[in-house]
A and B are shown apart, each in its own frame.
Chain A
Amino acid sequence: MTDKKQPSEAAIWLGLADNTFTRQKTVKFGDASAVNSGRFYSILIVCGLIALWVLSSRLGLVKEFYWPTIGSTFDRIGLLVTEGFRNVSLWEHIGISVYRVISGVVYGAIVGIPLGFAMGLSSTARGFFDPIVEFMRPIPPLALIPLIILWFGIDETAKIFLLFLASLFIMTIAARSGVSSVRISKVHAAYSLGASKMQILRHVILPNALPEIFTGLRTSMGVCWGTVVAAELVAADKGIGSMIMIAKNFLQTDTVVIGIIIIGVIGYAIEIFMRFLERWLIPWKGKG
C-alpha cells in the first residue's frame, strides 16, 4: 500500500480533488463521468462577477444608462415588489406571462397529442397532416407574430394562439415519435394476451409514448417561455416582456436588468419543475 494522502472533504466538495468515484478511474480524459464538478471555479466566477459589479458601482465606472449600480438595483427591486411597475404589481407581470405559457402549452397538448397519435397510427391522418407539420416545424414562432397581429390584433387571444402554435407542432411530433417507438414485441404480446385495438392504444401505446410526450411538454414549456417574452416585447401592456420594453422606453436600465434576471430564473425553475414531475410520474422512462 502506498501512503497516498487523502484529499480533504472540502477539496472534494469544491471539485478540486478526485472523489471516491473519480479516484478509481485511471483514464479520465474522454470519460465525461470522470470530470470533477469544479465547483470552486463556479463559486469563484459568481463571486468575481458580483465583486466587479460592486466595484464598478462604487467607482462609478459604467454610466447608469448602460448598467445599473448595485445599490439602485436593490432599491428598484424593493420598489417593484412593494409598488409594482406602472400600476401593475410585479407578481401580476410574472403571473400573466406564466399563465399565457401554461395556456399555450395546455392547448397545444390537447390538440397535438391526439394529432400525433393519429399520425402515428393511421395512414390517412399521416398523409393529411404530414405536409403541414413538416412545413410548420422549422418556422420559428416569432415569425408568425406579424400575421397573428393582423388576424387577432394584440389582445390576449392573439398571444395565447401564438403560444398554442409554438407548442402544437412540438407536441404533435413528440406524440408521433412516442407512438412509433413502441417495440413491436410489446404490441404482439398484448394482442396474444387478448387485448383489443382500443386496449392496445390505452394500455400499451399510450404508456409507452408518455416519456416522449413528457419530453415534448418540457421542450414546449421552454420554447413558449422564450416566445411569450418576445411576443410581449412586441405588443402587450402586461407581462414580464412588456415590463422590460416599457422600462427601456423610460430608460430604466435597472428594471430591464431585473426583468432579464427574472426571465432566466423562471425559465430555469420551469425546467427543474418539469424534470421533477417527470421523475415522479414516469419512473419507467428509459427502462424499456
Chain B
Amino acid sequence: MTGIAIDSVSMVFTLPGGGEVHALNNVSLDIKEGELVSVLGPSGCGKTTLLNIVAGFLAPTSGEVRLNHHTVTGPGSERGMVFQQGALFEWLTVEQNVAFGPNMAGKPKAETQEKVQHLLDTVGLSDFGEKPVYQLSGGMQQRVALARCLANDPDVILMDEPLGALDALTREKMQGLVLQLWKETGKTIILITHSVEEALFLGEKLIVMAPRPGRIERVYELPFADLGMSKSPREIKAGADFVEKREEILSMIWEMEEEIMGQATG
C-alpha cells in the first residue's frame, strides 16, 4: 500500500529582508494508491512547494507527509520526479539517462539494458538510444525524463508541469502517453499543471489551490481519465460535461487572479 497522506502541512518561508511568505497553510490531502491526482492553481499558490515537500526536498514548517505510514524526511527512490525541463543529464546519452537509476543501484547490466530498451520502445524512442539528449526535441526529452523515472520503478511519480514547455500538439500526444503509462503501471501520480484541460483530462481527482496563503480551494472527483482509454482524447475534451467543468474551473481561477491583482493595486 503506497498511499500518500498530506497531514496539515504548512510552509512559511522567511525572506532575507525579514518578511514571511505563507506558501502553504494547513494543507491536508489523502491520495490513494494508484490514484492520479492533478493540481491546478494560479501562479505562486504553492504547488511546487507542496510537491517538493512530498518529494522530501523541503521540510514543512508544521505538519507532515506520510508515505505508506512512514513520515517523509528526505528524497527516496520510491518517489520519482519529472521536472518541466532541463533535468536530464546532458553528458549522457538517452540510454544512459534512462539507465541512471538502475546503474546507481548496481543492478545487473544485462537486466538494465533490457529494461531500458523496453522503456524506450514504450515512449517511442528506440531509435534514439545512442543520441546525446541535447540533440532531441523538447517533447522527446520529456519522454526520456518519463522513461528515466519509470526505469527506477518508483511507487509514486511526482510531476511538476512536465508538459509545460511543449507545443499544443506535442502536449496532447504526451498526455495520451502519460495516461497510457498510468493505466499500464498503476502508479500513484501527482501532476502539477497550468492547463485546466490537461488537469481535467488526466486527473481522477483534481485539486484546485488558492494563493495567499496557499491552500486547497476545492477537490473534484473526475470521470474523464477512466474514459481516456475507450474514447478519443478530442471526443472527451469536446464533451458537454468536460466543457462545463472546464469553464467552471477557469472562472474560479480567474476570480482568484483578479483578487490577487486587486490586492496588489488596492
Contacts and interface: CB of A to CB of B under 8 A. Distances in A.
Task: Pick from A193, A203, A282 the residue with the most CB of B within 10 Å.
Answer: A193
A118 B148 CA distance: 30
B104 A192 contact: no
A196 B104 CA distance: 8
A190 B55 contact: no
Interface string A194-233: 1110010001100110100000000000000000000000
A131 interface: no
A204 B90 CA distance: 10
B55 A287 contact: no
A194 B152 contact: yes
A207 B105 contact: no
A288 interface: yes
Q: What's the interface size class on B, roughly?
A: 20 to 34
Interface residues of A, number: 23
Contact of B91 (A183, A188, A193, A284): A284
Given A199-B104, A207-B91, A192 B79 contact: yes
B91 A191 contact: no
Interface in B181-199: none
B163 to A, nearest CB: 16
Contact of B89 (A192, A194, A199, A207): A207
Interface of A: 183, 185-186, 188-196, 199, 203-204, 207-208, 210, 282-284, 287-288
Given A193-B101, A283-B132, A284-B132, A185 B91 contact: no
Task: Pick from A195, A196, A282, A283 the residue with the most CB of B within 10 Å.
Answer: A195
Interface of B is mostly: loop
B90 A194 contact: no
Contacts of B87: 183, 185-186, 188-189
Interface string B70-96: 000011110111010011111100000
B80 to A, nearest CB: 6
Contacts of B149: 192-193
A284 B89 CA distance: 10
Contact of A193 (B86, B100, B134): B100
A203 B76 CA distance: 17
